[in-house]
Structure 1
Amino acid sequence: MDLEYTVTENIHRNNNGQVVQIDYQFEETTIVETSSSSSSSITRQNKEKRNRTYNATITRTQYQNLVRHLSNSLPFDAFVDVLRPFIMGFYSSDELQRAFYILDRDHSGSIHINELSSFLPILNDTIDSEALKNYVRKVDQNFDGKMNYDEFRALVLRGIGRDIICNHL
């Protein structure tokens, strides 16, 4: 199975340069190859393409209304700094390190589930701590139940962060 994806990002700013809206469109194409054999011993390769599209738009005002009911939420600008590498699946310069330090709110050098949940419920309100633990287990090389920087990097680069946001395993 091959996975191809395209992410389009649009950032809207006000006259002061402050981000007021961010839009993402994520297109995912999964190519599944199947083999079938006939009675004449001929093997056929079939390819099936499955497409999914996700759209996420959030404004500063929407975000502030959503987090009003949540404890321990991130400020909107910090949220945007974390969201970008999470949903894009890659990063430039110091974006990933900045996102890691924003999420590592207790400055322990690792991101705990409760710190990760200060970011994710905004985009995926169905995610619970057990589901987050399962996602973290995919990259948790030392099995401590939290993510150090390298494990967080793997979460982003492997697209697991995007999977959490798009709500599919």
Structure 2
Amino acid sequence: MDVEYTVTENLHRNRGGQLVQIDYQFDETTTIETTSTASSTSITRQNKEKRNRTYDATITREQYQNLANRLPNPLPFEAFINVLRPFIMGFYTSDELERAFSTLDRDRSGSIHIDELSSFLPILNDTINGDALRDYIRKVDENFDGNMNYDEFRSLVLRGIGRDIICNHL
């Protein structure tokens, strides 16, 4: 199975330069190859099936504030955007990932635990719960402590698991 994706990001600022809206469009194409052999002949067939999915996300500062008011200890909008970018893009530049990790590691323990991740994700995926987050974390939790150190967090982003959480599919 091959997965290809593109992510488009558009930032909107007001006249004062303040970020007021961010748009993402995520297009994913999955190619699945199957091989079948007819039992009565020696003919082997290879089939390729392509599946496409598109996700659009628009987040305004105002929408964010309305949602964040319902959460205990939410991230400020700018911090939220700093974390969102590598999560949804699936890659990062220079120190973006370090900033995102540091932003989520609010107790400065050197790891991100479920409560810290919960300060970020419910804004984008309001159906996510603690059990589902634990399942996602288990996919990268190499030391089985239930938390994510920097390397595990990096793996979550690079493997697209963070994007899967946001796009709400397994």
TM-score, normalised with respect to structure 1: 0.99
1:19 aligned residue: 19
Query: Percent same amino acid at aligned positions?
Result: 78
State the one-letter code of the partner of 2:24: Y
Deviations for 1:78-107, whole angstroms, at most 9, x for unmatched residues?
000000000000000100000000000000
Q: Does 1:141 align with 2:142?
A: yes
Deviations for 1:131-166, whole angstroms, at most 9, x for unmatched residues?
000000000000000000000000000000000000
Q: Which runs of 4+ in 1 moved over 3 A?
A: none
How many residues were matched structurally? 169
Deviations for 1:26-54, whole angstroms, at most 9, x for unmatched residues?
00111011111112111110000000000
State the one-letter code of the partner of 1:6: T
Worse-matched range after superposition: 8-17 or 139-148: 8-17
1:28 aligned residue: 28
Unaligned runs of 5+ in 2: none
Q: Does 1:59 align with 2:60?
A: yes
Provide the aligned C-alpha RMSD in A.
0.6
1:44 aligned residue: 45
Question: Matched residues in 1 for 2:153 and 2:18: separation?
Answer: 27
Worse-matched range after superposition: 65-74 or 96-105: 65-74
| Residue 16 of structure 1, CA deviation | 2.0
SS of equivalent to 1:11: strand
2:90 aligned residue: 89
TM-score, normalised with respect to structure 2: 0.98
State the one-letter code of the partner of 1:16: G
1:2 aligned residue: 2
